[in-house]
Amino acid sequence: MDVRMRINRWTAGRRELLYGHAVTSGLVQPHFVVEGQGIDEPISSLPGIHRQSVDVLRQRIAEDVAMGLVGHMLFPVHSEDDKDPEGHLGLRDDGPMMTALKALREDHGDGIVLMADVCMCTVTDHGHCGHVHEGTILNDRTVTTLADMAVVAANAGADYVGASDMMDGRVQAIRSALEEAGHHGTGVLSYAVKFASAFYGPFRDAAGSSPREGDRRSHQMDPRSPVKEAVMEAQLDEAEGADVLMVKPALAYLDVVAAVQATTHRPVAVYNVSGEYAMVHAQHPEADERRAVVAEIMHAFRRAGADVIVTYHAREIVAGGWLGVEA
């Protein structure tokens, strides 16, 4: 697979996210987008994080960008009544995430970095990350659908499509589909090393993406896996054309982050996942108490080799200047 080195340099926002000198440059704030107007619904399992309609989200992100937070990752939240086994919602260009991408690109141009989740778990009624037949996820059929979903997100204005499913071969399929559609500047953020972790619970509640039956252990990595398997996953995705490689979760896998960083030529991202965030909030519900703990965690990610940090703490870190002083 040919690599387009320009993708990570394509816009001012991407250059700031990946190469900025400020300690907060590489932070990315996740968002949950719903249909409707005026919706700003707190998520009980994720204190301080809300499900928001596009109009509310636009205002919130405008405030974020104004204070220097340029990285934003979007996840769609759909009504259960609208989902089906085939995930057709993921191919619609008028859903909440696609509508938000278009609006935010119009609002901020190239000064913002928009990452769009590309996975079937939020759009299927069974909650799995792909097409299912007799209890088995069909890898190759799923990859074809994911590639189509990625093109829809790129059409809407995504800088990076987040391949979060862990199907074999999906990075190459997505890269090829983007090229065929003329999206030569759209990047692939590969969840290259994604473990079948117990730390995802609050996210699945927020996004409505829990499997109705079974689990995701047939495709996500076993937490007991050796580091060499994680490195191989990352190397395969790099060879297939990934522009950024992610390790998820982050906190329990810093050894993996370090190993991936030592063996790749691509930027490395980590996802400070919902369960990690919720644990910190449970122990330190007040921001003044939380500040030092969060700063320590972020420095650990950086020391392990993370170039980009996706974290629900991003907004409070930037707003409070939590990484600007010694913890």
For the stretch 45-87, pLDDT in tens is 999 999 999 999 999 999 999 999 999 999 999 887 787 888 7
Span 271-311, pLDDT tens digits: 999 999 999 999 999 999 999 999 999 999 999 999 999 99
Active site residue 194: yes
pLDDT at 139 over 70: yes
Contact present, 243 and 175 (Cβ < 8 Å): no
Does residue 134 lie in a domain region? yes
pLDDT at 1: 64
The arithmetic mean of pLDDT across residues 174-192, rounded, is 97
**More confident of the two residues 221 and 125:** 221
Query: Of 202-216, 234-248, 283-297, where does mean pLDDT reach its minimum?
Result: 202-216
pLDDT score of 33 more than 50:
yes
The CATH number of the domain holding residue 236 is: 3.20.20.70
- Residue 255, pLDDT > 80, answer yes
pLDDT score for 200: 84
In angstroms, rounded to a whole number, what is the distance separating the alpha carbons of residues 274 and 282? 12
Split into its structural domains, the chain has a count of 1
Structural domain that includes position 162: 5-320
- Whether 152 maps to a domain, the answer reads yes
Annotated catalytic residue within 83, 102, 228, 248: 248
Confidence at residue 209, expressed as pLDDT on a 0 to 100 scale: 55
- Give residue 134's pLDDT: 74
Q: What is the pLDDT of residue 79?
A: 80
Confidence of residue 166 (pLDDT cuts 50, 70, 90): confident
Residues 130/141, Cβ–Cβ less than 8 Å: yes
The mean predicted confidence, pLDDT, of the chain is 91
Do the domain assignments include residue 326?
A: no
Tell whether 327 is covered by a domain.
Answer: no
Can you give the pTM of this predicted structure? 0.94
The whole-number pLDDT of residue 125 equals: 74
Q: Tell me what pLDDT residue 326 has.
A: 45
Question: Is 280 within a domain?
Answer: yes
| pLDDT given for residue 159 in this prediction | 99
In a domain, 69, yes or no: yes
Q: How confident is the model at residue 217 (pLDDT cuts 50, 70, 90)?
A: low
Residue 25 falls inside a structural domain = yes
Q: What pLDDT, on the 0 to 100 scale, is given for residue 67?
A: 95
- Residue 214 above 60 pLDDT? no
- Answer yes or no: is 325 within a domain: no
For the residues 186-202, what does the mean pLDDT come to?
91
